[in-house]
Amino acid sequence: MSDSLLDFAPVTRHGRVCVVTMSYPERRNAFSTPMRESLVARLEHLMFEDVECRAVVLTGAAGTFCAGGDLSEMKERPIVDGRQVFDLARAVVRLLATGPKPVVAAVEGHAFGAGLSLACATDYIVATPATKFCAAFLKVGLIPDTGIFWTLPKRVGASKARELMMLATEVGGEEALRIGLVNQLADQGAAVAAAVKVAEAMARQPREALAYLRVALGQGSETPDGALRAEVDYGAALRRDRLIQTSSFQG
């Protein structure tokens, strides 16, 4: 991948917290193909290779989060080729939702369409009273995507999720907090600072336990059996790590 692609998602460091900023201001940080490529490359590195990084903040440049898919690049493709386009988006969601390190979204301005999906795939959302959220997909003749069929009902319940997706209603920051879409409101312009604070608190948690927790929540706990299996498998692995680390526990 060329450096120019990475420019769509530059990273800044705040100690153990890395801030990934979606930067495509002329299209309000649209989730375009180069944006998806940059995010996959950046997140893969931060999640799996960068040992200094312990938590990630995802945000957008120029006072807005992400306006969703890039309508200007939605050209007509054969259906079979259209399927492949989703691989990158899926990789981004998978990294955000089940990668080993916690992710906090700092959402100012707009989080529309796939922008809302990206925020929903994180562990914790900080917004401002002026932030606007919208599952705008249906308005352009599409169904919701980028994982939101699963992530939004988890946050706000099936009833509200259906309403937001079927009517493509715009939701402001205050309402987003009330319905459980957002975890915290910050002052306008201060979402990243607040998100970094939350991410720092998460970065202080035990690294392995956080990684297993995220996998269990993202993949393991859909059924009673799955939840128990996650407890038994991951719990056992963590206890074993602890025993090795703390010799006084042995015997």
Instruction: Name the nearest CA neighbour of 192 among 18, 3, 28.
Output: 18
What letter does residue 174 receive in the DSSP assignment?
A: H
CA-to-CA distance for 223 and 167, rounded, in angstroms? 30
Closest CB to other proteins among residues 138, 243? 138
Q: How far is CA 197 from CA 17, 94, 187, 190, 244, in A?
A: 9, 24, 14, 11, 31
Determine the interface stretch with other proteins among 48-56, 126-134, 136-144, 242-250 (rule: CB under 8 A): 136-144
Using CB under 8 A, which of 1, 138, 236, 243 touches other proteins? 138
Q: How far is the CB of 71 from other proteins (least distance, A)?
A: 5
Closest CB to other proteins among residues 164, 196? 164
Using CB under 8 A, which of 98, 172, 174, 200 touches other proteins? 98
Distance of CA 235 to the CA centre of its chain: 25
List strands edge to edge, sheet with 17-22: 11-14, 17-22, 55-60, 103-107, 124-127, 184-185
Length in residues, the chain: 251
Closest CB to other proteins among residues 68, 109? 68
Phi-psi region of 213 (alpha: psi -120 to 50; beta: other; left: phi over 0): alpha
In terms of DSSP bridges, do strands 124-127 and 184-185 run parallel, antiparallel, or are they unpaired? Answer: parallel
Q: How far is the CB of 218 from other proteins (least distance, A)?
A: 6
Using CB under 8 A, which of 19, 30, 97, 103 touches other proteins? 97
Binding mask 143-162 for other proteins (x = CB under 8 A): xxxxxxxxx-x---xxxx-x
Determine the interface stretch with other proteins among 4-12, 55-63, 84-92, 182-190 (rule: CB under 8 A): 84-92
List binders of other proteins among 169-228 (CB under 8 A). Answer: 218-219, 222
Asked if residue 47 lies in contact with residue 101, where contact means CB atoms within 8 angstroms, the answer is yes
- Contact between 115 and other proteins per CB under 8 A: no
Give the interface size with other proteins as a residue count (CB under 8 A). 45
- Contact between 26 and other proteins per CB under 8 A: no
Other C-beta atoms lying within 10 Å of the C-beta of residue 154? 13
Binding site for other proteins (CB under 8 A): 71, 74, 76-77, 79-83, 85-86, 90, 93-94, 97-98, 137-151, 153, 157-160, 162-163, 165-168, 218-219, 222
